[in-house]
Chain A
């Protein structure tokens, strides 16, 4: 456990530069830069590692890096996405709390490989202490010569600005995040063009999640293959799973990809109060809910969660629900979240999220109507795939999956005006 991103966590003063250097921190950066290792070789190692984006979409990181134009006359940027705002997610906060230097080193390596001189870390507005801690880490790194002009006496220069948001979930979407850094209202841009061709200030930009960047130093220290071997084919490396909900020991667990779900549940102390597992949302609130018995057959990797669980690994935010959970109320809460957090820009999401929530709320208030469930599915399908960004899909997925797996609970509410579970 805790082999990659959390590798300083068991040490005293884990966030300090000293601690990070004691495990070989910044040596990799120094080697790559001073030995002038070609960018293509770095990107190849990242490809080999099987690292997939940890921000939720799981896009292969090495491939993403290769989209950045190699020869470009003008600035390019690397951006780290620490905006973590989805219900169930809380891993990036712990990464910058316990191991900020690994993120910095990862970004520096990325910058070196993609030819950027400036990086930004966009940090969620509601984790102020971590934002300040990250600023301190940047100061330390600058003072030690790991950020700034002419690093290690070479012609490679790189610096990072920490930027804190104000807590809007949508600013985690990479193009909304870019708009927000530019000082504009955080609203997603229509893609294409993707950030790699038109990103921050219209320049080529690479956006990765905090955990993705934090995995980079390890990959280049030990080789892509070593990272891949920590996981399973198709899902290389370790992954931090943020386990929350009805477990005895909620928290972050960094384990190899492919670990069976029961093992992860066991690490988290099992379902609390000796109760039975009812359902799991495996990847954060935007991923489909999975009934407990199916989840127990899954391993924690992209393929299994998709194929066996019918959901997705997302950001690895595992929300566990026990047998006493009222699924209608859970959906009510989730739908409210998406209704509140839609940026309001595009029609299906702006109008549809409010519609979904109001109908779910009505059912949860005991005022449901028989036609409501089909209406909810229809509205969800009308949002899905028709919006500018993925928030629309994120809002529709819980509705569709909750009704799919727990339809009787909804029907009971509609018929009896109260919960089948809590009475």
Chain B
């Protein structure tokens, strides 16, 4: 290891690292703009120039590797002179409009200018002006402030996966811009706001609303996908002003998805419910907590008395905290009701009772980067878990992993995909069966695993396609240029797979394929806390009704915990009808919602920013957090409301004083990590019997959940809605199907399902399986039927 000296301090450093990395490790500050530890080295700003013994010229610390015996001076006269001259150059064309710049107070240029700049400019010529660009609803641009460090360009290309920004023109006309007429559409775009060292790229929603130093900064956990990203919620006068990532290398590194960054806008939406409301005829009337809760409790007791506890159904949002899930379950149990579920968008529950434990990712997030072979089944990964998609891309790019995808629709993965299968929902089952068969005929299989005879028999009925064989070979380690003797393999089921009507079969086959390959087998967590709510057992008791059957067999009374039935359930129509028919609907909710029109009482509960609680991420990381902000109006943290409700129902053991007490009970006084270790398990008790179905002749709906339709908070964030407006409100089919149905792309068509119909523009999408129509969830389509199911698309006469 090279021995070097920085500013007189001798150190031994890793071979091959740069001077700036060595200095950062020692805590010696070297000024910089273009360098970022997560991006490639551009060495263009020249701010990091340092003096190195034996070199006549100053060298850029970010691009100069250390070598043995190197003597580096970061603060010598020569170094500081070079740094100051660069600072002068950076400032001559900078507008120096700090008083009206959002970056003021948290600006690298401002900070370093204080240290290295002069109070008076020697530049008296005309200054450059750069036209601002409209790159979409999330990022504001003030391009005259740009110092051409290209961090944003490099981020979008290297991490975002698509080069959506670039530097055009030469000399001082050089400017950062998007493609002509395009905006930046990356689901990770907000990170360039953090990366921009000046005020050229700032947050549009946050613009001109607060100064950095006025904000209180509270740590929190991101609420929308299964990663459990670390965030910081910035609050001013009781209002969330913005959300930024906290660095957590093993989870979100230093990034954040746009959904987790901008969803706070939903929390500030005018829809927020701030007072309990009671229905009086057609009217909502405000009431106090006491009356509202007593009303709710009396209706529950009344239902029990008149129809029995089984006539109550409880649906809880899979975004809820473990404490909330646990307490609702405790109430259900207390009143003798088994009907509670958080798996609202699931349609296939045939595996219930067959799991050995709580399904999870099967490995750590960081393990993903190290995989050699990946099979991802039923996932629109960039929408489902944007930063997990980044890890998969890293595996492909830096670990030369081969990725195979099996999906009913295509999404550009922004990294090379070795094998891509796009087929109907039934076709997915058949394809997995083929892959399983191909795997089991390869010599490299693990012989110790015996497949049950039923499975072997079905396998015999399918013919293995070329693609299935290729996927099997890839998983076994065979490669284009070289073979791997013992590849690290991962087989994963995505969110879409979990909503799939034959999830049980997908799961069984995926598990079998994984075990034959000695692979990691994982299930992505549909939401931030699917794993946590499973651990908290917010699920039906054996034999009781699940989220689907609770709607198929309508109940007299429903308790909804942050659920907008038609948006959040697998079958919007069925959910809406069940609510309309119910005698009583008790909704605990953060938002007023048209989807709660049939409720009888609305109890305002805190969204993620205003409650303490615990989430368990898909890798089984248990993360508790405090409330970042005080509850708005009279709204209360969900756990407190449930505690009072429990008391009003006369149940034992509802005298918690803090959410920590609830958490302790969730984990039965054990260390969370121990509980998680014991309970996370993806194995089935017995493999499920697969049936082969003849291909359906009916058109099948593919009802995906768009990036910004996941939950009520996101759906109320105006900027995200603007960014995602093209991803909803349409039906798409592939060109051949459109033609054979006699339809025309670009026209309005009638889409009908389960007795409901809407008119939607028809798009052609040749990356869609034939026999399928993609109708994403959205405001206009929420009240259609099953996300996956028969659907009709017809011309409008």
A and B interact physically: yes
B657 in the interface (beta carbon within 8 A): no
Closest Cβ of chain B to A153, distance in Å, is 31
- Our pick among B90, B123, B174 for the contact of A355 (Cβ within 8 Å) is B123
Contact of A343 among B57, B60, B125, B170 (CB under 8 A): B170
The CA-CA distance from A278 to B167 in the complex, in Å, is 42
Nearest Cβ in chain A — how far from B78, in angstroms? 11
Task: Report B177-193 CB contacts with A as 1/0, cut-off 8 Å.
Answer: 00000000000000000
- Is residue B796 contacting chain A, with contact meaning CB distance below 8 A? no
> Can you list, as one digit per residue, whether each of A323-362 has a CB less than 8 Å from chain B (1) or not (0)?
0000000000000000111111111101111110011001
Docked complex: B29-48 residues within 8 A CB-CB of A: 41-47
Contacts of A387 in B (CB 8 A): 46
Which residues on A sit within 8 Å (CB–CB) of B172?
339, 342, 344, 350-351, 353-354
How far apart sit A345 and B147, CA to CA, in the bound complex (Å)? 10
- Contact residues, A348-378 vs B (CB, 8 A): 348, 350-355, 358-359, 362, 375
A386 and B171 in contact, given A347-B147, A358-B126 (Cβ under 8 angstroms): no
Report B-chain residues with C-beta under 8 Å of the C-beta of A255. none
B22 to chain A, nearest CB (A): 17
A-side interface mostly:
helix
Q: Does A382 reach chain B (CB closer than 8 Å)?
A: yes
B122 / chain A contacts, CB cutoff of 8 Å? 375
- When the two chains form the complex, which single residue of A190, A359, A375 contacts B41, counting CB atoms closer than 8 Å? A190
User: Contact between B46 and A346 (Cβ–Cβ < 8 Å)?
Assistant: yes
Q: Does A269 contact B (CB under 8 A)?
A: no
Is B92 interfacial (CB-CB < 8 Å)? yes
User: In the docked arrangement, what's the CA distance between A382 and B122, Å?
Assistant: 13
Number of interface residues of B (CB under 8 A): 37
> How far is the CB of A33 from the nearest CB of chain B, in Å?
31
B63 contacts across to A, CB distance below 8 A: 190
Q: Is A170 an interface residue (CB 8 A)?
A: yes
Binary per-residue interface labels of chain A (140-172) against chain B in the complex, 1 for a CB within 8 Å, 0 otherwise: 000000000000000000000000000010100
**Which A residues are CB-close (under 8 A) to B60?**
190
List of B residues within 8 angstroms of A350 by Cβ: 89, 148, 171-172, 174
Which chain A positions have C-beta within 8 A of B44?
345-347, 388
Q: How many residues of A contact B (CB 8 A)?
A: 29
Encode contact with A along B66-86: 1 for CB under 8 Å, 0 otherwise: 000000000000000010011
Are A344 and B125 closer than 8 Å at their CB atoms?
no
In the complex, whether B119 has a CB less than 8 A from a CB of chain A is: no
How distant is B793 from chain A, measured CB to nearest CB, in Å? Answer: 42
Partner of A386, one of B49, B168, B169: B49
When the two chains form their complex, are residues A339 and B171 in contact, meaning their CB atoms are under 8 A apart?
Answer: yes
B88 within 8 A of A: yes
Bound CA span A119–B41, Å: 28
Are B58 and A386 neighbours in the complex by a CB distance under 8 Å?
A: yes
Kindly supply a per-residue 1/0 record for chain B positions 525-568, scoring 1 wherever the CB is within 8 Å of any chain A CB and 0 otherwise: 00000000000000000000000000000000000000000000
Q: How far is the CB of A350 from chain B (nearest CB, A)?
A: 6
Residue B15 interfacial (CB < 8 Å): no
**CA distance in complex: A203, B167 (Å):** 25
Inter-chain contact A386/B170, CB cutoff 8 Å: no
Taking the complex as formed, is A233 at the interface, i.e. its CB lies under 8 A from any CB of chain B?
Answer: no
The answer to whether the Cβ of A185 comes within 8 Å of any Cβ in the partner chain is: yes
Q: In the complex, A336→B93 CA distance in Å?
A: 18
Docked CA distance A341–B166 (Å): 19
Judge whether A385 is part of the interface by a CB distance below 8 angstroms: yes
Task: Known contacts A190-B63, A350-B148, A386-B57; decide if A344 and B169 are in contact (CB<8 Å).
Answer: yes
Q: How far is the CA of A340 from the CA of B170 in the complex (A)?
A: 7
Q: Which residue of chain B lies nearest to A354 when distances are taken between CB atoms in the complex? A: B172
Complex contact A355–B125 (CB within 8 A): yes
**How close is B80's CB to chain A, nearest CB, in angstroms?**
13
Is B114 part of the binding interface, using a Cβ–Cβ cutoff of 8 Å?
Answer: no
With A347-B47, A358-B125, A387-B46 in contact, do A341 and B171 touch (Cβ < 8 Å)?
Answer: yes
Task: Say yes or no: is B450 at the interface (Cβ < 8 Å to chain A).
Answer: no
Mask for B114-134, Cβ within 8 A of A = 1, else 0?
000000001101101000000
Instruction: State whether A344 and B174 are in contact (beta carbons under 8 Å apart), knowing that A355-B123, A386-B86 are contacts in the complex.
Output: yes
- Per-residue CB contact flags for chain B residues 156-172 toward chain A (1 = under 8 Å, else 0) read 00000000001111111
Also in contact, A351 and B170, with CB within 8 A (given A346-B45, A359-B125, A385-B58)? no
- Whether A345 and B85, one on each chain, are in contact in the complex, defined by CB atoms closer than 8 angstroms, is no
- Residue B485 lies at the interface, judged by CB distance under 8 Å to chain A: no
Asked whether any CB of chain A lies closer than 8 Å to the CB of B173, the reply is yes
- Taking CB as reference atom, which chain B residue is nearest A372? B124
Chain B residue nearest in CB terms to A393: B57
B56 at the interface (CB under 8 A from A): yes
A382/B88 contact (C-beta < 8 A), A341-B170, A344-B167, A355-B123 known: yes
Question: Is B85 a contact of A342 with CB atoms below 8 Å?
Answer: no
Determine whether the beta carbon of B85 is less than 8 Å from that of A386: yes
A185 to B82, CA, bound (A): 28
Cα–Cα, bound, A393→B295 (Å)? 82
Bound state CA distance, A185 and B44, in angstroms?
15
A351 touches B43 (CB 8 A): no
The contact string, 1 if C-beta is below 8 Å from chain B, for chain A 197-238, is: 000000000000000000000000000000000000000000
- Tell me which of B43, B56, B168, B170 contacts A388 (CB under 8 A): B43
Question: A385 to B85, alpha carbons, bound, how many Å?
Answer: 12
Counting chain A CB atoms within 10 Å of each CB, the highest count among B46, B47, B58, B170 belongs to: B170
CA–CA, A44 and B128, complex, Å: 52
Q: Which of A170, A343, A344 has the most CB of B within 10 A?
A: A344
Interchain residue pairs A-B with the least CB separation, the first 9: A344-B174, A382-B85, A385-B57, A351-B89, A358-B125, A190-B43, A342-B171, A354-B172, A346-B44
- What are 26 A-B pairs with beta-carbon distances under 8 A? A185-B167, A185-B168, A190-B41, A190-B42, A190-B60, A341-B171, A342-B170, A343-B171, A344-B148, A344-B169, A344-B171, A345-B44, A347-B147, A348-B85, A350-B174, A353-B172, A354-B93, A355-B125, A358-B125, A375-B122, A382-B85, A386-B49, A386-B82, A386-B85, A388-B43, A388-B44
| Beyond A190-B43, A347-B44, A347-B46, 11 extra complex contacts between A and B, CB < 8 Å | A342-B172, A344-B171, A350-B148, A350-B172, A351-B93, A353-B171, A354-B171, A354-B172, A355-B92, A362-B125, A375-B122
